[in-house]
Structures are given as structure tokens and as C-alpha cells.
Structure 1
Amino acid sequence: MTPENIKTMDPFMLSSLINTKLRNEFKSLNDLCSHFSLDKKELLERLSQFGYEYYGEINQFR
């Protein structure tokens, strides 16, 4: 997963991929973003364009 993928990936595939990574590999969105050198703000903005919101208490986008 690269910053360029975030900008071009289908939003449904992106949310599925991110949620899978959060569920199986990372304790938080910050950890995921740090690991892949992603801009957290960009990721949040990209997914919010399609109605997804991050819920830290359950560590997933909905």
C-alpha cells in the first residue's frame, strides 16, 4: 500500500483493505499510517468523500 494507491484505489476496496489491516495487524490507524508512510489526514479525507468515517473505539471505518 502506497500513498499513490490511496489516491487511485476504488473506495470500497480501499476501505475493505484498511479495515482488514486494522483488524488483523494494527492496533490503531496511527500505527497503520506510520507503517506504510501514509498521511493520515489524506486517508481520512479520501474515505470521507465516500461516506466512511473512522471509529477509533472499534478501530475501523464505517
Structure 2
Amino acid sequence: MDLHKAVFMDPNILLGIVNDQLRHDCHDLHVLATVMEVDETEIEDKLAQIGFHYEEGINQFSPDL
């Protein structure tokens, strides 16, 4: 999968891809953003559209409460 284009996907699909990458391949959001060749805020803003935020402690995007 071309992660460079993933940020342009539907945010619900992006959520699954991002959390999978964080779980298996990237030890934090900064590394993931570097691999995807985007700014961290692009990922965060896209997933905020569907009510998710990045939790550094668990290295995953979780639903807003």
C-alpha cells in the first residue's frame, strides 16, 4: 500500500491503516508522518473529523469522549 496517498482516503479507512501502522511498524506519530510524507497535523486533523485523537501513551488514535 502506498502510504503517501493514505491521508487522502476516507477518514474511517485511514483510521484503520494508521492504527495498524502505529501498532506494528511505527513507534510514534512522528515516525508515521515521516513514512507517509505528511505533517503530523494532517493526520490528526483528518481523524479529528470523525472524532478521534492521538494518544501518545498507547500510540493509537482513540475516540474522543
Q: Which range moves more in the overlay, 48-57 or 33-42?
A: 33-42
TM-score computed with the length of structure 2 as normaliser: 0.83
Which aligned pairs between 1:1-62 and structure 2 lie closer than 5 A?
1-2=3-4, 4-7=5-8, 9-62=9-62
Structure 1: state its 5+ residue gaps: none
The structural deviation recorded for 1:15 is 0.3
User: Gaps spanning 5+ residues in structure 2: where?
Assistant: none
* CA positional deviation for 1:40: 0.7
TM-score, normalised relative to structure 1: 0.86
Query: Larger relative CO (CA 8 A, sep 6+): 1 or 2?
Result: 1
Structure number having the greater helix percentage: 1
Q: CA deviation at 1:5?
A: 3.3
Identity %: 32
Q: Which runs of 4+ in 1 moved over 4 A?
A: none
- Aligned Cα root-mean-square deviation (Å): 1.1
Count of residues in Structure 1 that have an aligned counterpart in Structure 2: 60
For 1:16 and 1:59, locate their aligned partners in 2 and report how far apart those are by CA, in whole Å: 13
Q: Distance in 2 between matches of 1:60 and 1:19?
A: 6
Pick the structure with more strand per residue.
2
